[in-house]
């Protein structure tokens, strides 16, 4: 895109919230509490600071309100006004080290929490995940999301693509620049320095877009909101003679989608298929995390399998025999497990104290899951007719949802 008369620049303010990483969860949580406290004050006192994104995660709402329950009405009001954007995820997982079911549960929980506060951001936001599974467009589509915004795992130089899963599901993919989710974060108090740096980012992104929509990501890891952004947008618009707004990710996606449809650009966009594990020269993929702290991966696989393959199927069978289905217990176990799925947690690339807490969470989720298995198995066993006096019964239960023939080890 070379012409500037139809250029539209979206400045999107956000924080990227690694819940635990080089500090523990509780240490980062105190920073989060301070950030949201100041965000609420600023947005209420500065109406022209219109929008802020909480990194596509809803877990931050729980973390904040556990310590600041009295702030919930203020937070709810700004979410209801569309000024603070939440969801669609519960937390930001790694896609390769967790099961497909876990990815689905993560999005489902994120949507459920978002609905309690208002509505979920309709954007498939994947800013810092270490590559992407080929089925992600299919998963997003099944949650009503027709788009994805991502960075790592792909080295294409354009800003807009189609991304297609093996089943044919397709989403409009917007590829973040090589700087990732922080190409407009280093704003300065010096107006000239601000204008020059941001104008350079606009020029770089103008060369990447096929539809005249430029995304400037004003945020980075654990960063607080910059109150000068509305003034910066006005100065840039005057300086460059283009439309510059303090915007949102949904507004940017809508503008790209509309331009693709109206200009017929959709037919010319490249189609990317399947798994995204390349582009190392564009953004570091951190491949070594696959084998870091293997005990974390083993514990996760064990608890996932216990919930997916034993706990939930057996609880379903027991409920068919009249027992109450342990929905709350299983939701608690799943939520506890999902809290270990953020990429810095499950990948094993955090400090020792973080991974010690991971193992505690795994243990809690496993204890609940095993209790559900034991209680459900007891209900099933009592429903099976007994044999002659003095005999023992061996009951085999198929939890695979399909016929099985083979050796069973008791």
- What's the length of the chain? 410
Catalytic residues: 128
Rounded CA gap, 272 and 154, in Å?
A: 9
Cβ neighbors of 110 (< 8 A, separation 6 or more) are 57, 58, 87, 88, 89, 90, 120
Contact 340, 360 (CB under 8 A): no
- SS3 (DSSP) at 124: coil
- Give the whole-angstrom CA distance, residue 13 versus residue 218: 5
CA atoms within 13 A on the CB side of 38: 10
Short-list 191, 189, 154, 147, CA closest to 170: 147
Closest CA to 139 of 95, 83, 184, 81: 95
Question: What residues have CB less than 8 Å from 370, skipping those under 6 apart?
Answer: 306, 311
Strand order in the sheet with 125-126: 125-126, 147-150, 170-175, 160-164, 271-273
Pairing of strands 84-85, 52-53: parallel
> Which residue in the block uniquely carries the two structure tokens 């439309």?
243
Cα–Cα distance, 249 to 331 (Å, whole number): 30
d(CA 350, CA 359): 13
Residue 114 · residue 135 · CB < 8 Å = no
């Amino acid at each position: 895109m070379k012409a500037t008369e139809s250029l539209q620049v979206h400045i999107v303010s956000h924080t990227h919230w690694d819940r635990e990483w080089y500090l523990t969860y509780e240490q980062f949580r105190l920073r989060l509490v301070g950030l949201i406290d100041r965000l609420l004050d600023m947005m209420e006192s500065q109406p022209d600071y219109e929008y802020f994104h909480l990194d596509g995660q809803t877990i931050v709402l729980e973390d904040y309100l556990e310590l600041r329950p009295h702030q919930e009405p203020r937070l709810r009001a700004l979410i209801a006004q569309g000024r603070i954007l939440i969801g669609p995820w519960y937390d930001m997982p790694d896609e390769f080290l967790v099961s497909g079911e876990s990815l689905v549960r993560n999005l489902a929980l994120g949507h459920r929490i978002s609905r309690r506060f208002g509505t979920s951001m309709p954007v498939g936001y994947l800013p810092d995940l270490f590559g992407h599974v080929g089925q992600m467009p299919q998963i997003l589509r099944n949650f009503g999301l027709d788009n994805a915004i991502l960075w790592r795992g792909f080295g294409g130089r354009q800003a807009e693509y189609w991304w297609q899963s093996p089943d044919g599901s397709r989403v409009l993919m917007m590829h973040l620049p090589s700087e990732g989710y922080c190409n407009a974060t280093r704003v300065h108090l010096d107006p000239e320095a601000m204008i020059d740096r941001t104008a350079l980012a606009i020029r770089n992104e103008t060369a990447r877009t096929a539809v005249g929509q430029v995304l400037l990501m004003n945020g980075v890891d654990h960063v607080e909101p910059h109150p000068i952004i509305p003034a910066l947008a006005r100065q840039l618009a005057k300086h460059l003679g283009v439309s510059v707004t303090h915007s949102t990710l949904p507004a940017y996606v809508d503008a790209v989608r509309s331009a693709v449809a109206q200009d017929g650009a959709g037919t010319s966009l490249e189609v990317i298929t399947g798994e995204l594990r390349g582009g190392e020269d564009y953004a570091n993929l951190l491949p070594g995390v696959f084998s870091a702290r293997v005990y974390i991966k083993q514990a996760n696989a064990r608890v996932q399998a216990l919930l997916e393959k034993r706990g939930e199927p057996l609880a379903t069978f027991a409920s068919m025999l009249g027992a109450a289905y342990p929905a709350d217990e299983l939701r608690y176990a799943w939520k506890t497990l999902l809290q270990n799925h953020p990429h810095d947690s499950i990948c094993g690339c955090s400090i020792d104290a973080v991974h010690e807490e991971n193992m505690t969470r795994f243990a809690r989720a496993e204890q609940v899951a095993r209790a559900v298995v034991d209680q459900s198995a007891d209900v099933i066993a009592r429903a099976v007719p007994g044999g002659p006096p003095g005999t023992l019964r061996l009951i085999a239960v198929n939890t695979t949802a399909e016929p099985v023939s083979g050796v069973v080890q008791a």
